[in-house]
Amino acid sequence: MPELRKDPIVGRWVIISTERARRPSDFAPVPSTRAAGVCVFCPGQEAQTPDEILANRVDGSGANTPGWSLRVVPNKFPALRSEGELESAGEGLYDRMTGVGAHEVIVETPDHHASLARLPAAHVAEVLRAYRDRMRDLRKDTRLEYVTVFKNHGEAAGASLEHPHSQLIATPIVPIMVAEELEGALHHYRHKKRCVWCDIVRQERRQGGRLILEDDGVVALAPFAPRFPFETWILPSEHRSSFEEISPGELGALARTLQEVLRRMSRVLRDPPYNFMLHTAPFRGEAAEHFHWHLEIIPKLTRVAGFEWGTGFFINPTPPEEAARYLRGEVPEAPVS
Amino acid sequence: MPELRKDPIVGRWVIISTERARRPSDFAPVPSTRAAGVCVFCPGQEAQTPDEILANRVDGSGANTPGWSLRVVPNKFPALRSEGELESAGEGLYDRMTGVGAHEVIVETPDHHASLARLPAAHVAEVLRAYRDRMRDLRKDTRLEYVTVFKNHGEAAGASLEHPHSQLIATPIVPIMVAEELEGALHHYRHKKRCVWCDIVRQERRQGGRLILEDDGVVALAPFAPRFPFETWILPSEHRSSFEEISPGELGALARTLQEVLRRMSRVLRDPPYNFMLHTAPFRGEAAEHFHWHLEIIPKLTRVAGFEWGTGFFINPTPPEEAARYLRGEVPEAPVS
């Protein structure tokens, strides 16, 4: 059973994942995801994954058979497990908790060689709808506090399988980064009676230099203080706290915006490895007034090293105003050297 | 001039480093550090670096010539610059500050092929003494609040040059991770009137399972809630707040302990890439009672991906009790597969 453990100084929780227990000899370089062999996410290989939780099928095909356009399955090597009671224990200075949660894979398309940047926008909307529907379902589990949806694209960004997929991990604790956003946002709200992300959207629209694009109520921008070069945030321009409440119209606008940003990144940065992470309001607690959902996209272009791990300071070589100019298409493309 | 910028939600500062300004075409994969060519840190190449700040020479050789056993030089591509006034400005929601600071390289040895794990312990002590002496000097600059000493070993851990070296970056702000440690430690101190790291050392000595080794007042241990597999902390067992005040005897014990831990990691994990980061009390403010200096070593064995970047949760596949058993030499070594 995996275990959650809390650092006694800073209060950060980590997951000790015994499902993936590793001896020193297991840390050899990961074999390439491009290696030959059968892809477990391709149609016809449904028996290789745990039973599907959700699948979009228009042809009346049966569960765990081909015929799907999107499929959600439990992760075969889950970081947290859905079975068992949520129990916590102290031990002197230390706190631990059973590793209860959920870890699911969203197989975005049957096409092994597709990508979110190239699928039809309607299909991207289908992927986003699956995120929403899984969140709506998981919130019924009273042991859980939060669902993080994320995507690792490309080996350097942590993808261990090439087939287009995203993941979600549901945790019995609100992640520390979301907790810090909640705290900062609540502070802003108490002082100004306004949502800080709403204020950011207003200021960015007024200044213009970091805006990338806007489509029917959804904005993409380069944040003022990005950790990574070409980091991009996508968020609704109107105040929306919980991603689970996204409307069909907003889903469509988000799908078009996400796809367009990924297309432009792919063009400007030559199909970079990237991660994206969705931040939404926690299941419990009152965040409706001060939290605003947003999607953070970080291309993997630089290495994170000792300075960043030791300080939390990030060194970003590309000012966001420059990144936004490239992503708006205002800079002629450099010839491939 | 580089610029410091603050995220308006969580208060995290980033460095926008114009010295290293990068266009999209600059993000091609980094060429191997093992590539042929002259090493700028090797003896005879002193003119390739900015003028040395400190050098250990026993043969009466002149500055910026061969004959040194250790050399500290300004980084040729500094993340922050020592020239200029510290100025800050607001802009609506946003705060920025001039990128004043220092960025130095500690060239640990003239021997290109040496490593801290294999140098004589007395030489490792010389490296640690250089850290201390540079901190003592930099604290005189009233614009600066903190010095972070760190090392990137191996390309995968962010080293762009192979020659053994560490770095330091002095910042006009206490880094957020140190600030969070200070806050957590102060909270503990207020409740218990004890230092949290002193309490950790006591509990680890009593329990034993995460202790790795102990040498004359210096302890190496696997922390209870490590972010990374085989993460190791080294710290004095008696309360010591500021690394700058380390005594010659403590320097010697730290050098032996650091070297022994690096040797064992190298044996167990086959010369892994790693980072280490030194955390000490800030230059100003009152931290003498509740902050305890420590060195964090993180071998680079796993990839950090979307889940970690989106949540601050880390998934660690190796329980620290297991890692400590390996680093104590209690597990027979697996044959190389």
The pLDDT tens digits for A189-209 are: 999 999 999 999 999 999 999
Q: Is pLDDT of B337 > 50?
A: no
Distance CA B16, CA A229 (A): 9
The pLDDT score that the predictor gives to residue B336 is 45
Q: Per the CB < 8 Å rule, is A310 touching B334? A: no
- pTM score, whole prediction: 0.94
Distance CA B194, CA B198 (A): 7
Q: Is pLDDT of B228 > 60?
A: yes
The pLDDT score that the predictor gives to residue A21 is 65
Distance CA B10, CA B14 (A): 12
Q: b/e for A280-311, b at 16 or more Cβ within 10 A?
A: bbbbeeebeebbbbbbbbbbbbbbbbbbbbbb
Which residue in chain B is spatially nearest to A305 when comparing CA positions? B158
Nearest chain B Cα distance for residue A229, angstroms? 9
Distance CA A305, CA B24 (A): 21
Q: Is pLDDT of B335 > 60?
A: no
| CA angle B1–B156–A36, rounded 5-degree value | 130
All structural domains of chain A with their residue ranges: 112-331
Q: What is the mean pLDDT of residues A242-249?
A: 96
* B317: its two tokens: 């596949």
Q: Is pLDDT of A294 > 90?
A: yes
Diameter of chain A by CA atoms?
Answer: 61
pLDDT in tens, B181-213: 999 999 999 999 999 999 999 999 999 999 999
The pLDDT score that the predictor gives to residue A28 is 61
pLDDT band at B21 (very low <50, low <70, confident <90, very high): low
Distance CA A18, CA B63 (A): 54
What DSSP string runs through B236-287? ESS----GGG--HHHHHHHHHHHHHHHHHHHHHHTS--EEEEEE---SSS--
CATH topology of domain B1-16+37-331: HIT family, subunit A (3.30.428)
Task: Enter the CATH code of domain A112-331.
Answer: 3.30.428.10
CA B84 to chain CA mean position, Å? 26
Of A3, A16, A275, the CB nearest to B309: A275
Q: b/e for B210-222, b at 16 or more Cβ within 10 A?
A: bbbbbbeebbbbb
Nearest chain A Cα distance for residue B260, angstroms? 18
A172 touches chain B (CB under 8 A): no
B143 touches chain A (CB under 8 A): no
Nearest chain A Cα distance for residue B248, angstroms? 25
- Which residues in chain B (57-86) have CB-CB distances under 8 A to chain A? 79
Interface size, chain A vs chain B, as Cβ–Cβ contacts under 8 Å: 285
Q: Per the CB < 8 Å rule, is B27 touching A301? A: yes
Q: Which of B103, B153, B165, B292 is catalytic?
A: B165
Q: Per the CB < 8 Å rule, is B6 touching A225? A: yes
Check if A188 is active-site.
Answer: no
The pLDDT score that the predictor gives to residue B190 is 96
Q: Is pLDDT of B32 > 50?
A: no
With pLDDT > 70 as the criterion, what percentage of chain A qualifies?
95
Distance CA B128, CA B256 (A): 11
* HEC string for A256-307: HHHHHHHHHHHHHHCCCCEEEEEECCCCCCCCCCCCCCEEEEEECCCCCCHH
A131 touches chain B (CB under 8 A): no
Q: Is pLDDT of B333 > 90?
A: no
Token look-up 């959920």 returns A102
How high does pLDDT run on average in chain A? 93
Does the CA dihedral B229-B235-B237-B241 come out positive or negative?
Answer: negative
Residue that wins the pLDDT comparison between A255 and A17: A255
Q: Cβ contacts (< 8 Å) between B16 and chain A: which residues?
A: 316, 319-320
Of A17, A185, A307, the CB nearest to B9: A185
Q: Are B153 and B115 in contact (CB under 8 A)?
A: yes
Q: Are A291 and A225 in contact (CB under 8 A)?
A: no
